[in-house]
Amino acid sequence: MNTVSLEREIRAYESMLPEIKREYGSVWAVISHEKLVSTFKAFSDAARFVNANCRDHQVLIRHTDQHNETAPFVEISN
C-alpha cells in the first residue's frame, strides 16, 4: 500500500468533510483519487459498492461523525 496515497486521500476527505456532512449528514464516505465517490448509511453497503466498482484502485472509507471510526485503506485486486 502506498502511504503517500493514503495521506492524500485522508487530506482530501478532511477538506471535504464539512461539505459532505452538510449535504449528506451522518454517512460513510468513499474517497478515491482525492474525490468523493459516493456515500452510504451502512458500512456494509459502502464495502459492497467498493467491491463492485473500485476493484482497480485504492479507496478510503470514513464515517462523517467520528474520525476514529475508520475502515482500513482498502485495495481490492483480482
Show me where the domains of the chain are located. 3-75
In which element (H, E) is residue 45 found? helix 43-53
DSSP letter for 9, please.
H
Decide if 50 contacts 58 (C-beta within 8 A): no
Note the pLDDT tens digit of each residue in 17-42: 999 999 999 999 999 999 999 999 99
Whether 60 has a pLDDT exceeding 70, the answer reads yes
Tell me what the pLDDT averaged over the chain comes to.
85
Side-chain half-sphere CA neighbours of 67 within 13 A: 7
Q: Which residues contact 75 (CB under 8 A, 6 or more apart)?
A: 1, 57, 58
Q: Which residues contact 8 (CB under 8 A, 6 or more apart)?
A: 34
Name the pTM for this structure.
Answer: 0.79
